[in-house]
Structure 1
Amino acid sequence: MYFRGIGTATPPARYTKAECLDAFQQSDWFARLDARSHYLARTVLQRDNGMEARQLAVDTLGDVFTIDPNTLAQRFLANAPVLATLAAQRALAKAGLEPSDIGAVVVSTCTGHLCPGLSGYVVERMGLRADVQAFDLVGQGCAAALPNMQLGRALLASGAAEHVLSVCVEICSAAMFLDNDPGVLISACLFGDGAGAVVLSNTPNAAGPRIAWTDSMSLIDPTERKALMFESRDGMLRNILTRAVPSLAAEHARRVLDTVLARAGLGMGDIGTWIMHAGGRDVLLALEREFGLAAENLRYSASMLRQYGNLSSAFVYFVLEAALADAAPPGWWWLSSFGAGFSCHGALLEVTA
């Protein structure tokens, strides 16, 4: 399987940490939360937490603090199809293909629910064939990108499609929830909105580097499910984020990496470019320690986190696009995502000029 073209999309409105803190302090929610929560929000948004700004699907930051089921559901419906389609169109253009060439589309999200699913909106907006195979994957959180691509790989291998469109879109502002729980508050300070897409094909793009998916592995540990998950509260999604997440992410990511490298007869030093989900600054630091890497090795993940915040499942598409834009050297690349479940996925990519 080859990555034939990649595209990303974000809402136009960009908000800095300082702007987010100011809007919070002016909102009705500030008075509803306790002094400890005020201190935590100021700490996260005033100190270096690995991010500087986010792009959110709201006209003003004041809109973020209108938190009720109907408003959030409408925000998801108004924005998820738009961003998913824009990222997919950009990926298709880079792949040098037409909408009629796509035999299957796989769309992942965890920040909203539609029935019929998002895939139908992407099919409609992109003008894909009526007989295209369409799949909606939900509930996989930040880890969803690689399971999405693994399904695409299976469709290609089975002969069901020659080209598969893989899309992840998250409207995290449509999963807004506030209370005095530290994990809930940190989540509200870190996540942004965005979409990523890649065209997966049996043949590489004639232009640009050839990106071949050579092997992959998934690992899921349901005993750690409660470390990172959404729960339903008052008809809305409430993010549970615990202190165990950075160490869990690093431990699981290392196990997946070691297994795939051993099968390929490779070592850690053979990986030249790292395409990692960031989660947050503490996750990146835990990965550096566990893998024995310098901060420079995870520079693309750190850069995307700083620019966009945590984009959940869409994040690794942005990291891959950043590495390609920087003309990262050919060789062995490692792609990894992790999140709710607790789950972790990794893929070994061979990139040639």
Structure 2
Amino acid sequence: MQSCFNSNTPTLIPSMGINGGSNHTLLWLVPIINALSSALSRPLQIHPQPARTAVQLFLSGAMGKRRDMAAGEHTLLSTEIVNRGVEASGPDAGSPTFSVRVRRRLPDFLQSVNLKYVKLGYHYLISHAVYLVTVPVLVVVFSAEVGSLTREALWRKVWEETSYDLATVLAFFGVLAFTVAVYFMSKPRPIYLVDFACYRPSDDLKVSNEEFVELARKSGKFDEESLAFQSRILKNSGIGDESYVPRSIFSPGNCATMKEGRAEASMAMFGALDELFEKCRVRPKDVGVLVVNCSLFNPTPSLSAMIVNHYKMRGNILSYNLGGMGCSAGVVALDLARDMLQANPSSYAVVVSTEAVSFTWYAGQNRSMLIPNCFFRMGCSAVLLSNRRRDFRRAKYRLEHIVRTHKGADERSFRSVYQEEDQQRMKGLSISRDLMEVGGHALKANITTLGPLVLPFSEQLLFFATLLYRHLFPKPTTTTISKPYIPDYKLAFEHFCIHAASKAVLDALQTNLELEDRHMEASRATLHRFGNTSSSSIWYELAYLEAKGRVRRGDRVWQIAFGSGFKCNSAVWKAMRRVRRPSTNNPWLDSADRYPVGL
């Protein structure tokens, strides 16, 4: 009988056969299959068959490269026996059959830590330590000078010996005042998040997974094999039946025109901004900084210029338009807005994050380019930031940290998400089979750098001590493996907003960070209700937490996103007050109570 590796897995691994002559990367599975055949009490013979093309799916498992796999690489693959049965017809009728799932895991990025990222995190932590150290030194010097004097002697020197008073006291207070002044002048201004808004499209743009495949079939652009492939992805993607897509992408004549792109972007951006200005009671002319990020749609004039024109903003506004930076661009835009607010006191900044689905749509047959079709959905967020001290009381959150990690120097990371044309010269977003691996390395670097900034001292001490021990005393043999202490990030944050890329990625991150289901609830609910809305997804997740009434004063929120480049970026917020459940202007008003439901 024949045994094949099937594709019907929760992580959507494409089918592939066993090629006895060329697929050496899979030969290590043969002993597993033969052992299982013995357990089934009947010999099982594996016959070579042509190998089908394997395509790396978006942030899910994949085949390894066609090379001899080292023992360490085996740990990145997981297998599972599924679809047990009996052959119904043919020469092998009556023989037991089964399928083997093969998928690539997210690398265990907490088990191998690069010391340079720990060093970078501590560098961020102590960047202003020189000012804090100077004051204790001055106190020690002054105490040594006058500490031996009695109260009467000190009083006599201060009031009777003028030379001592002028030479010591004035010098001390002069240096102290100078140090304190320099410290406060160099200290960054606090950045407040006054409020934010997430756009919810109209109900006529809702599409179920079944309707998505049917509309794709009616468009006449896909063959049955491509339709079946997309249907398989959607079935296990974690996306529900209420996400939003522009119907124009399914029209037979659709070719992603600039007119359609502007219409989609305008609908999403203006919808989010109208709600934001209404909630914050801020006039568009009061905004001094505007940052817009959209990865694939970059018209001329820019999207930021469209907003300035629509709202008739002031002429000296500092506007920026970020393109091509993927799903992590929302945090990049936040970082740019923060820098602008540090340089421009008493200002408001608006950050708009969106993606034009019509320009990510691919109408060809290349499977690696069909993946974004199934995951990306309409969405947009608008955030109002302020450095005005009078906004302290009405602001919801204060920005604590932003940590950015860029792996673009590595060629595999750079090409892991790549816009290009297929053989028929049709433009699309190609997803590399290496995406899962390079994403794990970027996450490892980012989380390691963030740790010293947010973890409690006890966690930092244990983590750093074990890490230092491993570097100073390497393991002598392979049998004495000492794993580094894995910090408990649940002690650093009350809420987690992890970019809702796919169900497989969320599962892997939950396992690696040892998070509970409640920590992943916002991300899973956002993926199910709205799909992957690209850079705005972390704001839909925060809106979910607010709709549930879970954010209280002092709570810390971790937003982490990853995208093309390859980049992984984190933003940490601290709640300034208890955020009450909203009664209006929240995208979850009519659906928050339905979650979580078996996500």
**Normalising to structure 2: TM-score of the pair?**
0.54
User: Greater CA deviation, 175-184 or 232-241?
Assistant: 232-241
User: Following the alignment from structure 2 to structure 1, what is the Cα–Cα distance between the partners of residues 375 and 501?
Assistant: 9
After superposition, the Cα gap between the structure-2 partners of 1:247 and 1:93, relative to the gap in structure 1 and judged at 3 Å, is farther
Which one has the bigger strand percentage?
Answer: 1
User: Following the alignment from structure 1 to structure 2, what is the Cα–Cα distance between the partners of residues 82 and 74?
Assistant: 12
Are the counterparts in 2 of residues 8 and 195 from structure 1 also a CA contact under 8 Å?
yes
After superposition, the Cα gap between the structure-2 partners of 1:235 and 1:187, relative to the gap in structure 1 and judged at 3 Å, is same
Aligned to 2:339: 154
Does residue 260 of structure 1 match 2:450? yes
Which of 313, 328, 347 is the equivalent residue of 2:535? Answer: 313
Are the counterparts in 2 of residues 104 and 161 from structure 1 also a CA contact under 8 Å?
no
Q: What is the deviation of 1:50?
A: 0.5
User: Greater CA deviation, 270-279 or 324-333?
Assistant: 324-333
Provide, for residues 237-291 of structure 1, a one-character-per-residue CA deviation record: whole Å limited to 9, x for no partner.
4111234434543442343233223123435122110112111111111211221
Provide, for residues 119-153 of structure 1, a one-character-per-residue CA deviation record: whole Å limited to 9, x for no partner.
11111222321221111111101111000000010
- Please tell me the residue identity of whatever aligns with 2:489: M
Aligned residue for 1:328, secondary structure, equals coil
Q: What is the deviation of 1:196?
A: 0.8
User: Following the alignment from structure 1 to structure 2, what is the Cα–Cα distance between the partners of residues 310 and 24?
Assistant: 19
Aligned to 2:45: none
Unaligned runs of 5+ in 2: 1-190, 457-487, 578-599
Aligned to 1:48: 236
Aligned residue for 2:354, secondary structure, equals strand
After superposition, the Cα gap between the structure-2 partners of 1:57 and 1:130, relative to the gap in structure 1 and judged at 3 Å, is farther
Provide, for residues 134-181 of structure 1, a one-character-per-residue CA deviation record: whole Å limited to 9, x for no partner.
111111011110000000100111126611000012111232113332
Aligned residue for 2:494, secondary structure, equals strand
User: Following the alignment from structure 2 to structure 1, what is the Cα–Cα distance between the partners of residues 518 and 236?
Assistant: 17
- Please tell me the residue identity of whatever aligns with 1:178: A
- Please tell me the residue identity of whatever aligns with 1:327: G
User: Following the alignment from structure 1 to structure 2, what is the Cα–Cα distance between the partners of residues 247 and 290?
Assistant: 14
Are the counterparts in 1 of residues 360 and 373 from structure 2 also a CA contact under 8 Å?
no
Alignment of 1:307-346 (within 5 A): 307-330=529-552, 331-346=555-570
- Please tell me the residue identity of whatever aligns with 2:221: W
Provide, for residues 36-69 of structure 1, a one-character-per-residue CA deviation record: whole Å limited to 9, x for no partner.
x233122123x2321014212236x632x5442x
After superposition, the Cα gap between the structure-2 partners of 1:161 and 1:229, relative to the gap in structure 1 and judged at 3 Å, is farther
Alignment of 1:1-353 (within 5 A): 1-12=191-202, 13-30=205-222, 33=223, 35=225, 37-45=226-234, 47-53=235-241, 54-58=243-247, 62-63=250-251, 65-68=252-255, 71-159=256-344, 162-203=347-388, 204=391, 206-207=393-394, 210-222=396-408, 223=410, 224-232=413-421, 237-266=427-456, 267-269=488-490, 270-330=492-552, 331-353=555-577
- Please tell me the residue identity of whatever aligns with 1:217: V
User: Following the alignment from structure 1 to structure 2, what is the Cα–Cα distance between the partners of residues 91 and 246?
Assistant: 36
Aligned residue for 1:97, secondary structure, equals coil
Are the counterparts in 2 of residues 173 and 192 from structure 1 also a CA contact under 8 Å?
no
User: Greater CA deviation, 102-111 or 85-94?
Assistant: 85-94
Larger Rg: 2
Unaligned runs of 5+ in 1: none
Provide, for residues 166-200 of structure 1, a one-character-per-residue CA deviation record: whole Å limited to 9, x for no partner.
00121112321133322222211111112111001
**Normalising to structure 1: TM-score of the pair?**
0.90
Aligned residue for 1:125, secondary structure, equals helix
Are the counterparts in 2 of residues 8 and 197 from structure 1 also a CA contact under 8 Å?
yes
Aligned residue for 1:255, secondary structure, equals helix
Structure with the bigger RCO (C-alpha within 8 Å, sep 6+) is 1
Are the counterparts in 2 of residues 246 and 282 from structure 1 also a CA contact under 8 Å?
no
Aligned residue for 1:25, secondary structure, equals helix
Provide, for residues 82-140 of structure 1, a one-character-per-residue CA deviation record: whole Å limited to 9, x for no partner.
31122122222222322122101101101212111011111122232122111111110
Are the counterparts in 1 of residues 407 and 442 from structure 2 also a CA contact under 8 Å?
no
User: Following the alignment from structure 2 to structure 1, what is the Cα–Cα distance between the partners of residues 245 and 227?
Assistant: 22
Are the counterparts in 2 of residues 5 and 199 from structure 1 also a CA contact under 8 Å?
yes
Are the counterparts in 2 of residues 5 and 91 from structure 1 also a CA contact under 8 Å?
yes
Instruction: Tell me the number of residue pairs that the alignment of Structure 1 and Structure 2 aligns.
Output: 344
After superposition, the Cα gap between the structure-2 partners of 1:264 and 1:49, relative to the gap in structure 1 and judged at 3 Å, is closer
User: Following the alignment from structure 1 to structure 2, what is the Cα–Cα distance between the partners of residues 62 and 3?
Assistant: 38
Are the counterparts in 1 of residues 417 and 565 from structure 2 also a CA contact under 8 Å?
yes
User: Following the alignment from structure 2 to structure 1, what is the Cα–Cα distance between the partners of residues 313 and 547?
Assistant: 28
Computed over aligned residues only, the root mean square deviation of the Cα atoms, in angstroms, reads: 2.2
